[in-house]
A and B are shown apart, each in its own frame.
Chain A
Amino acid sequence: MAPLPVRRDLSRPLGLPPAQTDVRTLYTVLKADGFNPVGHEITGTTARLQIENLRYRSSSQAVGRAARIASRYFGDEITIFAIDLVEKNLPLTSVEISRESLVAYEFNLAPAKEFMDQVAFRDVKSLVSAPEEKSSFYWRIRPYFDYGLFDPDQPVRFEFGVALESEYVFSPSSFVEFGIHKQVIGNLDSIERDSDSVLPHVRSDHKHYHKQGDPGLEYLTLNYLTKPHATGYVRLTGGYLEKMYAGVSAEYLWQPTNQNWGLGIELNKVRQRDFDMRFGLRPYDVFTGHVSAYYDFGGRFEGQLDIGQYLAGDKGVTLSVNRVTSNGWRFGAWATLTDVPFETFGEGSFDKGLRVDIPLDWILGKSSPLVMQTPIQIIGRDGGARLHVNHRLYPLIQHAQRVDMGREWARFWR
């Protein structure tokens, strides 16, 4: 659907009374265009609009559309629009654009880079007002697909089933969520080969989870997300974190929006879950965690370096490099080297894999925020294995950072 155009004609120069801010229409139009208006604030001649983008994969496009709507329904006295992108009630980035620039560049031959230079990206700490909904409940049923590669008995194994997922938000920062999987068809549960790993069986007992955990509780967690300061994010997660582990997970990320690199730390104390994927636990417990550095080269590449202790207690580093396109595709590879000798690790010598992110708007030719994230682990064994936990901070905020938005800034005007 076409965006609303910028309101170009202020009333005063035309001898008419100045247009007033019309919040009701502003919020109605924002909702119709795929946004959840979280709040707004007028300070002098600046209007801050905080929105959650529910429709557009491209944050640049989302900001562009919201800014144009803002130009129409904030009063004539407003000369600066600060559009804050919000995710899970965390304000991620504020994009400040003058009304003058919107009018000048909407229909203009200037390249996107020139327009981006007219815009200020700022860090923002908090919401301007508490969300209207004090609590909310979401659920959905969706198909899921899982697979295993390079089993010597059956090189390709798969599982197709139905997932029930739900989320209950009971405060702006806190929510409980769970997911249950039920297999419909597949052969992941027919793996016969037992693990021969000499390391703690932190992943290689996966056949037992497939055999006994159907249906299985994939995760059941209490989550807390907050920003202690404008450039810092905190995540606390507790409960049944993933298919094989329960425990607590804490993460801090420092990422100013104008900086193309960030630093994070994640600490987890976890215990292995019973194979039936209900509520019981097995004796194995471990402390695992990493210090992470994220670097966006600004062009076509981004990288991540994690240093820490893995699930088997092994210590080492993971290097990930992604090739990024400016329409949402990512092609990546990662490799982990730990103090586990290659011969102890077993087949494959060390953990490694590939990643492909496919934007659904590319497939559909229509707006969709969804990106299919497809990690392809070459051979999953016990060395260099990492905990899976939902809502890791960097993937949550990356799309709203200046360098990431800059890749497709031209899409601002779509």
Chain B
Amino acid sequence: MIRRLIGVGLIMISVGCSSAKDRDTALSETVKAFVSQFKTPAPVDPRQVLTRAAIDAANIPLLLTEIPKIQSAGTLALLPGQRQQPDTWFGADGASFTLHKGVVVATRGLPFDLMFADSVPTIEALEKGGGRYDRTYKYLTGDNRDQIVTYQCRLQFQSVETVTIFEIRIETKRFSETCFNPDQSFTNIYWVDPAQVVHKSQQFLNFSLGYALTEKLL
């Protein structure tokens, strides 16, 4: 709110706006972007509009992601032409998720991105059915510096579960990954089929956004 108030003031008194890079319509674009902040379009819940028939008709890899803490949800499509992991998925709102074998390694275009999280220890533990290891997350601070945080993690098999993703039932094993350091802790959950495909997950991004829920639609 304070930023908005400052913004109103600054937009109103656009004295001395740098002309270094504004040859285009940067100022009007900036004003538009500012005004758009006050418009709060009703969020579209993909669960209300998506159907299995529509997913099958799309015939491209799709990923449903939700970030409950900021009431954000979207259907992401795999960027075409990627033949090596990790793979990056784009949503219509301009955000992207990058996953390595279903484990979130980065986000972009979110208000506070996960710059990178190492995925290999988790993937190896999923293959082994459990384990203890360190995981490291990299963030960008408000003043554009790296913040690198390491957690001690433990992956445990919890149960066999049948998950239903838009009418498709999949037999999975549910694993929980509990991570902590002296200051913070979180728990990720993965639903993995016998071929080690992560069909559904709850994965921690950061303390601003909380968890992302993912479902592999196709």
* Chain A residues engaging chain B, CB cutoff 8 angstroms: 1-5, 7-9, 14, 36, 52-55, 57-58, 87-88, 107-109, 111-112, 138, 140, 142-146, 160, 167, 325-327, 358, 360, 362-366, 368-375, 390-391, 395-396, 399, 407-408, 410-411, 413-414
In the assembled complex, the CB of B70 is this many whole angstroms from the nearest CB of chain A, namely 12
A1 x B16 contact (CB < 8 A)? no
Distance in angstroms between the alpha carbons of A143 and B13 in the assembled complex: 7
B6 closest partner in A (C-beta): A363
A411 x B94 contact (CB < 8 A)? no
B15 x A146 contact (CB < 8 A)? yes
A-B contact pairs, 20 of them (CB 8 A): A1-B109, A2-B95, A5-B88, A53-B21, A54-B22, A54-B23, A107-B98, A107-B106, A111-B148, A140-B28, A145-B13, A145-B15, A167-B23, A358-B10, A364-B33, A370-B26, A371-B20, A374-B16, A399-B20, A413-B115
Distance in angstroms between the alpha carbons of A4 and B18 in the assembled complex: 28
Asked whether B56 is an interface residue with its Cβ less than 8 Å from the other chain, the reply is no
Contacts of B81 in A (CB 8 A): 7, 9
A408 x B108 contact (CB < 8 A)? no
Q: Taking A146-B15, A167-B23, A364-B30 as contacts, is the C-beta distance between A109 and B98 under 8 angstroms? A: no
In the assembled complex, the CB of A103 is this many whole angstroms from the nearest CB of chain B, namely 10
A325 closest partner in B (C-beta): B143
Distance in angstroms between the alpha carbons of A107 and B98 in the assembled complex: 9
Q: Taking A327-B143, A371-B18, A390-B19 as contacts, is the C-beta distance between A9 and B26 under 8 angstroms? A: no
In the assembled complex, the CB of B140 is this many whole angstroms from the nearest CB of chain A, namely 6
In the assembled complex, the CB of A289 is this many whole angstroms from the nearest CB of chain B, namely 23
Distance in angstroms between the alpha carbons of A364 and B14 in the assembled complex: 14
B29 x A368 contact (CB < 8 A)? yes
- Interface 1/0s, chain B 113-145, versus A by CB < 8 A? 101101000000000000000001010101111
Contacts of B140 in A (CB 8 A): 410-411, 414
B94 x A144 contact (CB < 8 A)? no
In the assembled complex, the CB of B194 is this many whole angstroms from the nearest CB of chain A, namely 27
In the assembled complex, the CB of B87 is this many whole angstroms from the nearest CB of chain A, namely 9
A366 x B143 contact (CB < 8 A)? no
A372 x B16 contact (CB < 8 A)? yes
B26 x A407 contact (CB < 8 A)? no
Contacts of A358 in B (CB 8 A): 6, 10
Contacts of B83 in A (CB 8 A): 9, 14
Distance in angstroms between the alpha carbons of A7 and B30 in the assembled complex: 31
Distance in angstroms between the alpha carbons of A410 and B84 in the assembled complex: 25
Asked whether B182 is an interface residue with its Cβ less than 8 Å from the other chain, the reply is no
In the assembled complex, the CB of A414 is this many whole angstroms from the nearest CB of chain B, namely 7
State which of A2, A4, A410 has its C-beta within 8 Å of the C-beta of B145: A410
B18 x A369 contact (CB < 8 A)? yes
Distance in angstroms between the alpha carbons of A1 and B113 in the assembled complex: 12
Distance in angstroms between the alpha carbons of A3 and B86 in the assembled complex: 15
B27 x A54 contact (CB < 8 A)? no
State which of A8, A36, A143, A167 has its C-beta within 8 Å of the C-beta of B14: A143
Asked whether B207 is an interface residue with its Cβ less than 8 Å from the other chain, the reply is no
Closest 3 CB pairs of A and B: A2-B109, A2-B96, A145-B13
A109 x B14 contact (CB < 8 A)? no
State which of B14, B30, B33, B98 has its C-beta within 8 Å of the C-beta of A144: B14
B109 closest partner in A (C-beta): A2
How many chain B residues have a CB neighbour from A under 8 Å? 57
* Chain B residues engaging chain A, CB cutoff 8 angstroms: 3, 6-7, 10, 12-30, 33-34, 37, 79, 81-84, 86, 88, 90, 94-96, 98, 105-109, 111, 113, 115-116, 118, 136, 138, 140, 142-146, 148
In the assembled complex, the CB of A353 is this many whole angstroms from the nearest CB of chain B, namely 13
B148 x A109 contact (CB < 8 A)? yes
In the assembled complex, the CB of A61 is this many whole angstroms from the nearest CB of chain B, namely 9
Q: Taking A107-B116, A363-B34, A395-B20 as contacts, is the C-beta distance between A142 and B14 under 8 angstroms? A: yes
A327 x B21 contact (CB < 8 A)? no
Contacts of B19 in A (CB 8 A): 390-391
Contacts of A4 in B (CB 8 A): 79
A107 x B27 contact (CB < 8 A)? no
B15 x A363 contact (CB < 8 A)? no
Contacts of A370 in B (CB 8 A): 17-18, 21-22, 26-27, 30
State which of A365, A369, A408, A411 has its C-beta within 8 Å of the C-beta of B111: A365
Contacts of B22 in A (CB 8 A): 54, 369-370
Contacts of A167 in B (CB 8 A): 23
Contacts of A360 in B (CB 8 A): 7, 10, 30
A408 closest partner in B (C-beta): B144
State which of A36, A143, A144, A326 has its C-beta within 8 Å of the C-beta of B144: A326
Contacts of B25 in A (CB 8 A): 140
In the assembled complex, the CB of A354 is this many whole angstroms from the nearest CB of chain B, namely 13
Contacts of A142 in B (CB 8 A): 14, 17, 27
Distance in angstroms between the alpha carbons of A407 and B143 in the assembled complex: 9
Distance in angstroms between the alpha carbons of A375 and B106 in the assembled complex: 40
B94 x A1 contact (CB < 8 A)? yes
State which of B17, B20, B28 has its C-beta within 8 Å of the C-beta of A87: B20
State which of B21, B34, B148 has its C-beta within 8 Å of the C-beta of A369: B21
Distance in angstroms between the alpha carbons of A290 and B34 in the assembled complex: 40
In the assembled complex, the CB of A225 is this many whole angstroms from the nearest CB of chain B, namely 12
B98 x A55 contact (CB < 8 A)? no
A9 x B82 contact (CB < 8 A)? yes
